[in-house]
Amino acid sequence: MRFMREDEALRTMNIFEGAYEKRRISKSSLKNWVVNVYRERRALALTLNDTKTAVNNLHHMVNVIAFIIIAVIWLVLLEIASSRIILLFSSQLVVAAFIFGNTCKTIFESIIFLFIIHPFDVGDRCEIDGAQFVVEEMNILTTVFLRFDNLKITFPNSVLSTKPIGNFYRSPDMGDSIDFCIHIATPIEKVAVMKQRILRAERSIGVVLPRLY
């Protein structure tokens, strides 16, 4: 309140866990906030670096295609290339398309997956085929994931485009339910004490804990 307006101070307090209710910022919540900021900035830097690399690779590919098209048009305009040369070039182009057609299809699908669908960024924790991975590196054709045991696994982007991908980082606040039973002979006083302990633990760690019904 000494350095901010009241509305700004309240919004700032909401950033830290449990600070709004306690009207103070604890050391643990400040440490968690600093660690999260560091991780987000590191993930953002890695994402920008990988995106820049992928864009540069795509730029080189487009430059090569544009150079070939411009060279053909230039030869035709200067009447250097005759109809026989153009016919020969076209036949070679058809052969190349037949040989590299699948590769071109894979590259096109990977570009659509990487830049249009864009289901994850570097640093995101994802779930693929029931296993959890952290995105380590993104390329035009492949994506490198880091498993829980630090094993690097490379997935082709054309394969990833056909799989359902869960992204924990982009998901809103998630919850988990735990079902447990209490014996019918348990006194009401013990149940009330358990409820109070759950509420105190919830206030101390800043998360919503299970409710007793």
Q: Which of 33-47, 71-85, 116-130, 199-213 has the lowest mean pLDDT?
A: 199-213
CATH class of the domain defined by 47-167: mainly beta
Element at 4 (helix H, strand E): none
Query: Which among 150, 125, 119 is positioned nearest to 40, based on CA atoms?
Result: 125
pLDDT digits (tens, 9 = 90+) for 78-122: 766 666 666 777 777 777 777 777 777 888 888 888 888 888 888
Assign 128 to helix, strand or coil. strand
Residue 26 CA to residue 59 CA, distance in Å, equals 49
Q: Where are the beta strands (DSSP E) in 44-138?
A: 125-128, 131-138
Residue 103 CA to residue 156 CA, distance in Å, equals 12
At which residue do the structure tokens 């980082």 appear?
169
What pLDDT is recorded for position 27? Answer: 82
What pLDDT is recorded for position 213? Answer: 47
Q: Nearest 5 degrees, angle CA 12-CA 13-CA 17?
A: 125
Tokens for 164? Answer: 């359902």
What pLDDT is recorded for position 34? Answer: 87
